[in-house]
Amino acid sequence: MPIRVQILLLPETMLSTLTGPLDLLSTAGTLWPLLMGTEPQTLFDVELISSTREPLCFAGGLTIHPQKTLDQAGPADVVYVPSIFITPDGELPASVSLASNWLSKQHSDGAMLCSACTGAFVLAETGLLKGLPATTHWAFGELFQQRFANVLFKNNAVLVVNSDARLTTAGANASWQDLILHLIKSTANERVAEETRRLFLIDNHDSNQGAYSHCNLQLTTADKEVAKAQSWLQANLAASLPVEQVVQQSALPERTFKRRFKQHTGMTVIAYMQMLRIDAAKTRLVTDNDSVEQIASDVGYQDPSYFRRIFARETALSPSQYRRKWK
């Protein structure tokens, strides 16, 4: 019996994370055998589920017709949530609340839930990710942490699998490929996943999201002392003892300042400084020809070996690999 997969279709769905997975799941087990002259086998029964049966119109005039409503959808083995468009202010579409209730029911009925990119916001609204690791698009990491503080957020992760909880989240847009191949491998078999990879020319990610991300340098408008510290840190990457200096400049008790800084930025002062330094190093590695040692020193790391370890931890690439990848 084919594996029952339901794809949640919202008016705000980003189509690249819908149509690609639809192609892979619809052809897994059939197209490769047809090309190779062997017996095809339909492995996945895929349905598009939405709150209405009315056609949904997307950018460029593309219209998609859902096959069933949320009320009509029966039980599923897998429910997949594509990415959705989220405005910079973080306001979630009204459709998310209704969808999250439906997702909770499908999960309680035994379905595996998975999301791509900002689809993690829909999944997290169910409350099912509480206390579990998860990821989403790197640019929405701060917003995700502020909205779902009880989720163990993994900003650099491409794919986070919670097998026992039947919950999986994928990172920025193209990581849907990693998610769908994992889905095929875990629910069908590894051979079909590899055939699908070859057929659609999909490579493994040789790095994590940290190799693609760029830090958000927007200053908070809600706390002038935190904004002042953010500005100073950005202008003084190579400063020694940066935490002590911004605490002193704030004239606040250390614990108070650190609490307010994390509240408004989503990270500790030292983590924020490290983000700025690594981001500056990424730019330098691509835009000039200075040695790794010189760049490390300029962004605040006097020990090149330590810099290389931190850089590799954040990007899954060495500085030299990063330079070759992007320069």
Query: Per-residue pLDDT for 16 more than 80?
Result: yes
The model's pTM is 0.87
Query: Per-residue pLDDT for 257 more than 90?
Result: yes
Question: What's the CATH class of domain 224-326?
Answer: mainly alpha
Residue 157 and residue 175: Cα distance in Å, rounded?
10
Kindly state the average pLDDT of the residues 180-195. 94
pLDDT value for 25: 96
Percent of the chain clearing pLDDT 90 (strictly above): 80
pLDDT tens digits along 288-297:
999 999 999 9
Residues carrying CATH 3.40.50.880, the chain: 3-211
Kindly state the average pLDDT of the residues 32-61. 93
Q: Is 223 helix (H, G, I), strand (E, B) or coil?
A: coil
Helix (H) or strand (E) holding 50: strand 44-50
Residues carrying CATH 1.10.10.60, the chain: 224-326
Query: Per-residue pLDDT for 1 more than 90?
Result: no
Kindly state the average pLDDT of the residues 103-132. 97
Long-range contacts of 52-57 (CB under 8 A, 24+ apart): 56/9, 56/11, 56/13
**Candidates 3.40.50.970, 3.40.50.720, 3.40.630.10, 3.40.50.880; correct CATH number of 3-211?**
3.40.50.880
pLDDT tens digits along 150-178:
999 998 999 999 999 999 999 998 999 99
DSSP letters for 94-132 = THHHHHHHHHHHHHHTT-EEEE-TTHHHHHHTTTTTTTS
Report the chain's mean pLDDT, rounded to a whole number.
93
pLDDT value for 91: 83
pLDDT value for 59: 81
pLDDT value for 46: 97
Kindly state the average pLDDT of the residues 198-202. 95
The alpha carbon of 83 is separated from its chain's Cα centroid by a whole number of angstroms, namely 10
Least confident span in 81-90, 107-116, 209-218, 306-315: 209-218
